[in-house]
Amino acid sequence: MICVKITQPLKKQRIHGINETMKRIRDLPKDERPRERLLQKGAQALKDEELLAVLIGKGTRNLDVLALSRKLIRVIDKKGVTLTASDILDIEGIGTAKAALISAAFEFVRRRIKPEGVKIQSPPDVLPLIQHYSDRKQEHFLSVSLNGANEVMNVRVVTIGLINMSHVHPREVFADVITERASSLIVAHNHPSGSLTPSREDALVTKQLKEAGNILGIKLLDHIIFSYRGYYSFLEHGEL
């Protein structure tokens, strides 16, 4: 009997503890909440997960809105601008209303940007499309597919590596690029350490992708390494 009386309060206390440690927007100081920060400092001051948190509004009983945003980002990174509502409906906490809202936001942006096209004329032109990956703790290997006029067709994450390395194979890089009927390609990856010096593996991957692109008729225009310190272009350094 004594054991039963002790166990029940402990169980309640443990559940209560979990709820208390869950990070929720309403528990943050007002000036740290995504919506308030956006209004005060502008959208560019927010991280990706915070921007999504503003869009979806709230999380679930088991996931706060920022945790839910991080789950969404993993899917969005893979799909790029081709994201549809059905791509995210399987995520816990994303019902038809939120999926429709996010899909509509993507389509609205597509319609405003795509008609004129984002044209790439030099390596720095790519940076606004990828710079938000510079603060990621793991390497993200990205592909930027271009049409015959050097206009951006899509930006997507090909692989996510470990702390300081990313494993990438030409078939993974070119699979979607071929489907899109792209004419050329720019690849890029972040260095979480901040260093902009290419590794031996970086040079090897660049060579492999260039050779594969020549066979497929899809020219590799550049390989860019970037971090919060700046960028390194294989093209600008005469290594492509």
User: What pLDDT is attached to residue 224?
Assistant: 97
Residues spanned by the domain of 130 = 123-233
User: What pLDDT is attached to residue 181?
Assistant: 92
Residue 64 included in any domain: yes
Query: Of 113, 148, 175, which one is at a domain's C-terminal end?
Result: 113
Residues 35 and 108 in one domain: yes
Residue 118 included in any domain: no
User: What pLDDT is attached to residue 216?
Assistant: 95
Segment 6-11 mean pLDDT: 42
Residues 138 and 105 in one domain: no
Greater confidence (213 vs 128) lies with 213
Residue 240 included in any domain: no
Residue 239 included in any domain: no
Interval 156-173: pLDDT, tens: 889 888 655 667 889 999
Residues 60 and 129 in one domain: no
Alpha carbon distance 51, 193 (integer Å): 25
User: What pLDDT is attached to residue 29?
Assistant: 76
Residue 159 included in any domain: yes
Cα-Cα-Cα-Cα dihedral sign, residues 138, 139, 145, 151 = positive
Residues 136 and 102 in one domain: no
User: What pLDDT is attached to residue 14?
Assistant: 38
User: What pLDDT is attached to residue 117?
Assistant: 65
Per-residue DSSP letters for 78-140?
Answer: HHGGG--HHHHTTSTT--HHHHHHHHHHHHHHHHHHTTT--B-SSGGGGHHHHGGGTT-SS-E
Interval 38-85: pLDDT, tens: 898 888 888 888 888 888 888 888 888 888 998 898 888 877 777 889
User: What pLDDT is attached to residue 114?
Assistant: 56
Residues 151 and 229 in one domain: yes
Residues 182 and 202 in one domain: yes
Residues 107 and 63 in one domain: yes
State the total domains in the chain.
2
Residues 19 and 83 in one domain: yes
Query: Of 61, 92, 113, which one is at a domain's C-terminal end?
Result: 113
Residues 8 and 108 in one domain: yes
User: What pLDDT is attached to residue 92?
Assistant: 86
Quick check: 142 pLDDT over 90?
Answer: yes
Mean pLDDT, rounded, of the chain: 83
This prediction has a pTM of 0.65
pLDDT band for 218, please (50, 70, 90 cuts): very high
Quick check: 11 pLDDT over 80?
Answer: no
Query: Of 88, 113, 138, which one is at a domain's C-terminal end?
Result: 113
Alpha carbon distance 33, 54 (integer Å): 9
pLDDT band for 19, please (50, 70, 90 cuts): very low
CATH assignment of the domain containing 221: 3.40.140.10
**Sheet containing 140-146: order of strands:** 152-160, 140-146, 184-190, 219-227, 230-233
Residues 106 and 79 in one domain: yes
Residues 107 and 17 in one domain: yes
Residues 144 and 170 in one domain: yes
Alpha carbon distance 161, 140 (integer Å): 6
User: What pLDDT is attached to residue 8?
Assistant: 44
User: What pLDDT is attached to residue 238?
Assistant: 94
Residue 137 included in any domain: yes
